[in-house]
Amino acid sequence: MQKNPSRSNNDEMRELLRQFDNLKNGRSHSFIEEESFERLINYFDEKEDLASALQASELGIEIYPYSSILLIKKADLLLATRQYKAALVVLEKAELLDSQDINLFILKTDAYLALDQQEKAIELLQDALDQFSGDERIELLFELADVYDDYEEFEKVFECLKLILEEEPMNEEALYKICFWTDFTGRNEESIKLHQNIINDYPYSELAWFNLGAAYQGLKLYEKSIDAYMYCIAIDEKFDYAYRNMGDAYIRMRKYKEAIEMLEKVLELSRPEEVIHEAIGYCFDRMGQYAQARFHYKKASHLTTEDGRYQYKIACTYINEGQYETGIKHLHNALRSNRLNPEYNLTMGIALVEIKQYGQAIEHYANVIKARPKSSKGWTSMLDCMLKANLLDNADEYALAGYEATGGKPVFLFYRAAIAFAEGRSKEAITQLELAMGKAPKLIKNLIQLMPRILQHPQVVDIIARYKKSKSI
């Protein structure tokens, strides 16, 4: 029995290299077999000595001119050294000797793609599919899928993977890939039928159950998707992506407690991820459990260098609890990373109004308006603040500017009426109110909420009564 096969192999390779050196230098040498040339080529290739590998292939072909294997190996090396046209010439010779070697088609495809001849590559592979069966046909279908992917024919990528699974339902690589391409192409109905057929024959395929769940989820059939994922984790209780997707499905269904349970399982099974902690924080946020939400937002912020978004989310939890001063501190941290972010500035304005820092609030609302001039939210928040603080010097100008910037939204006409009332310009206020009611009478509720005392004005009551009679309110 051979005690040290590794040492024996090394000795054989050293002897083979010595013989090859003698051959290329014209010295006497032992006879080198065809298989030995293959070993030499592989040895030099592994050492990334492509020049020697190519030389070995050429010397081998001189001795064995009818060796399709050596020709194919030479073509592979020519491709590696970007000699694409030369590789095609060598492959044509090899095909005359053995037209059934699948490597011919793989390497020809690589050459055509390198020469930007996509149509030839696709035609070659499609023709080859009729010549092969079994594992070789599957390999060609994967190759064709990659070609379609490179040239952004994504629907055909899905079709290739579907063909693979119809022939080999438990092909793991295809099962993994088709999940992505189902989502990318939106071909969820086809995926559902395909995976139901697979499950009928292979009921313990966790990947098939997972893909079925993902396809249902793509159609927003969340309960069905959860049922499929449940089968998946019954087969493999450590399938973390099933728990992850179930968490997302429960969130979509607003079942936050169940979502948290699934997402915490993800944290048990895999390394911590900011997106998981953020999702758990979101669930607690929606349930009004702000301390727990903060805990997970902080965990998420520790897992990224850019934590401005999480500082903002943390700030919102404090503001929701009425802890405005603490919320403002975190908003300052968020704004350091993105000073003009409209969301951050809007929330800062809201918090500052609550602690009666009206001047600072107006500055932040101005940043919202600069970032999103066509959105009414910044304008209306600014005007609410001005009215609340009785800072009315430029208020009407802002109301008019908001009206023009947002394409004439009637809400700003109500603001102009409110400002006029606040400044004691009753006649102008009534004119603006008549104009506003003519465009959007239902918005009178906003004005009453903003300024309840206007109901003490007889003309305002008359105008409201008139529109109520006409059933416009």
pLDDT digits (tens, 9 = 90+) for 180-220: 999 999 999 999 999 999 999 999 999 999 999 999 999 99
Q: Place 23 in a pLDDT band, splitting at 50, 70 and 90.
A: confident
- The tens digit of pLDDT for each residue in 322-354 reads 999 999 999 999 999 899 999 999 999 999 999
- Secondary structure element (H or E) that encloses residue 378, with its range: helix 376-389
Neighbours of 213 (CB within 10 A): 29
Those residues with Cβ within 8 angstroms of residue 272's Cβ, 6 or more apart along the chain or in another chain: 299, 303
pLDDT class for 175, splitting at 50, 70, 90?
A: very high
Instruction: Say what the pLDDT of residue 307 is.
Output: 80
Q: Tokens for 60?
A: 């081998």
Q: Band the pLDDT of 7: cuts 50, 70, 90.
A: low
Give the pLDDT score at 177.
97
Separation between Cα atoms, residue 117 and residue 113, nearest integer Å: 5
Output the pLDDT for position 357.
Answer: 96
Q: Which residue has the higher pLDDT, 63 or 375?
A: 375
CATH of domain 186-270: 1.25.40.10
Q: At what angle do helices 118-129 and 102-114 cross, to 10 degrees?
A: 160
Tell me the DSSP string of 157-178.
HHHHHHHHHHH-TT-HHHHHHH
Report in angstroms the alpha-carbon separations of 211 from 161, 169, 192.
13, 13, 8
Confidence of residue 411 (pLDDT cuts 50, 70, 90): very high
CA distances from 462 to 277, 419, 434 (A): 56, 20, 11
Burial of 9 (0-12, 13-18, 19+ CB in 10 A): exposed
Per-residue pLDDT band for 471 (boundaries 50, 70, 90) equals low
Q: How many CA atoms lie within 13 A of 454 on its CB side?
A: 29
Q: What is the pLDDT of residue 1?
A: 42
| pLDDT (0 to 100) of residue 131 | 81
Given a contact cutoff of 8 angstroms between Cβ atoms, the answer to whether 439 and 410 are in contact is yes
Residue 255: helix, strand or coil by DSSP? Answer: coil
Q: Compute the average pLDDT of residues 15-37.
A: 70
Question: Is residue 254 left, alpha or beta, with left meaning phi > 0 and alpha meaning psi from -120 to 50?
Answer: left
pLDDT digits (tens, 9 = 90+) for 258-281: 999 999 999 999 999 999 999 999
Parse the chain into domains and list their residue ranges: 186-270, 424-473
Taking phi over 0 as left and psi of -120 to 50 as alpha, with beta for the rest, 202 belongs to: beta
Average pLDDT in the 114-132 region? 83
Most confident of 120-124, 163-167, 303-307: 163-167
Average pLDDT rounded to a whole number, residues 92-119: 82
How many residues in the chain?
A: 473
Q: Is the pLDDT of residue 29 over 60?
A: no
Find how far residue 267's CA is from the centre of its chain.
Answer: 20
* pLDDT > 90? residue 40: no
Model pTM score: 0.80
